[in-house]
């Protein structure tokens, strides 16, 4: 088993190296030096696995490709780059087998357009990368596997209109990932799964002719985690989820002497853990939600500043033999300041505060 895990670790690292090397070799015209280096590494790995009388096979050239495309005219330019690569490593022994697979895909695009007659310029750029890694081990009494996927992308679009003194830019980025692991033995099993997704977007517009400016930024994160363990006597689990978003907005109008600002976030979380055996079951659950915002406005003769926080949480504990407990909290707070001025110099201001609080708790005894 020790030699197999060592071999699996080495082949996993080699597969990742071959994944990079395969793409580089394809872009450089499929240089044969990579094949020679692979042959030497293969001999060394076969020597490491010789104690188990195993067979190690590596395939890094099954799928390796890159493509570059460039087109240009007097007023436009476009380029595209795509690259694909994959690598596979397998080990077979008398009583066990192991394999590692990797795949990668990357692309870049840029498009630029210049309109000299209307004094306008625009540019769009996009990039994306995807990757997958899978590993599996099978023995007489146990099996194990790990899978991972990742995807990342970014985009930017820029427009410049010199005739109207206007500039705009939009940027988006997103990252996704998934990881899964599983183990099965004679008397126990275990699994783990995790997912994550994060993204951000910004849009900015500048209008110099009308003396206006605006910017909007949004972001989000979503993640989850699930794990399970079971054997002959007991089992346990853990589940967790989170969803968080945020937003920021800025607007200004110098001509009308006005501006606004907003910043806020919303978040929701969930956590559940539990265990079970022949005599008892225990479960715990926690949920929470949070919302927080700040808003500011300023006009020619008035201004406003306000904040708001809203939170809700719940906690529950349950057991077959022991006491059970449940609680819930709900709280909201608002604070604002407002002032007004006029030509008659009759200034006014207002300060406000709202508080709401709710609490619920209960318990149950098994005695």
pLDDT tens for each residue of 332-344: 999 989 888 766 6
- What's the start-to-end Cα distance of the chain, in Å? 50
The closest alpha carbon to 230, from 188, 274, 181, belongs to 188
**Comparing 279 with 10, which gets the higher pLDDT?**
279
**What is the pTM assigned to this prediction?**
0.74
Q: Is the pLDDT of residue 36 over 50?
A: no
Largest CA distance in the chain: 98
Cα 226 to the chain's mean position, in Å?
A: 16
Which DSSP symbol is given to 322? S
φ and ψ at 119, to 5 degrees? 55, 50
The SS3 assignment for 164 reads coil
Q: Is the pLDDT of residue 6 over 50?
A: no
Q: 14 near 40, Cβ under 8 Å? A: no
Q: Which domain holds residue 62?
A: 2-364
- Find which of 88-92, 244-248, 332-336 is predicted with most confidence, using mean pLDDT: 244-248
Q: 256 near 213, Cβ under 8 Å? A: no
Predicted local distance difference test score (pLDDT) of residue 128: 92
Predicted local distance difference test score (pLDDT) of residue 55: 60
pLDDT-based confidence at 157, cuts 50/70/90? very high
Q: How many domains does the chain have?
A: 1
276: enclosing H helix or E strand: strand 258-277
Strand partners, 222: 197, 243
Task: Share the mean pLDDT of the chain.
Answer: 80
Distance CA 10, CA 13 (A): 5
Least confident range from 19-28, 108-117, 169-178: namely 19-28
């Amino acid at each position: 088993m020790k030699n197999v895990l060592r071999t699996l670790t080495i082949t996993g690292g080699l597969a990742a190296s071959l994944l990079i090397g395969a793409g580089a070799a394809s872009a450089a015209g499929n240089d044969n030096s990579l094949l020679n280096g692979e042959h030497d590494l293969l001999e060394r790995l076969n020597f490491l696995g010789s104690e188990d009388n195993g067979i190690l096979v590596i395939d890094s050239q099954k799928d390796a490709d890159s493509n570059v495309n460039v087109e240009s005219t007097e007023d436009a330019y476009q380029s595209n780059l795509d690259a694909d690569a994959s690598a596979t490593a397998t080990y077979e022994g008398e009583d066990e087998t192991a394999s590692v697979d990797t795949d990668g895909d990357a692309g870049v695009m840029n498009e630029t357009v210049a309109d000299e007659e209307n004094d306008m310029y625009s540019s769009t750029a996009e990039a994306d990368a995807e990757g997958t890694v899978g590993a599996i081990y099978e023995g007489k009494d146990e099996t194990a596997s790990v899978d991972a996927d990742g995807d990342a992308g970014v985009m930017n679009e820029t427009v410049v209109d010199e005739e109207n003194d206007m500039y705009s830019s939009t940027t988006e980025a997103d990252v996704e990932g998934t990881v899964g692991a599983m183990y099965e033995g004679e008397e126990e099993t275990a699994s783990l799964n995790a997912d994550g997704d994060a993204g951000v977007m910004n849009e900015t517009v500048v209008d110099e002719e009308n003396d206006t400016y605006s910017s909007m930024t949004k972001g989000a994160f979503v993640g989850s985690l699930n794990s399970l363990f079971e054997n002959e006597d007991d089992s346990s689990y853990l589940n967790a989820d989170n969803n968080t978003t945020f937003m920021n907005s800025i607007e200004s109008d110098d001509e009308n002497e006005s501006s606004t600002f907003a910043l806020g976030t919303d978040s929701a979380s969930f956590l559940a853990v539990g265990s079970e055996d022949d005599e008892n079951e225990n479960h715990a659950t926690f949920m929470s939600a949070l919302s927080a915002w700040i808003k500011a406005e300023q006009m020619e003769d008035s201004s406003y500043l306000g904040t708001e926080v809203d939170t809700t949480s719940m906690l529950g504990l349950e057991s077959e033999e022991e006491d059970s407990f449940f609680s819930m909290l709900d709280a909201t707070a608002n604070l604002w300041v407002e002032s007004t001025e006029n030509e008659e110099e009759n200034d006014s201001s207002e300060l406000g505060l709202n508080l709401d609080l709710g609490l619920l708790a209960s318990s149950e005894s098994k005695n």
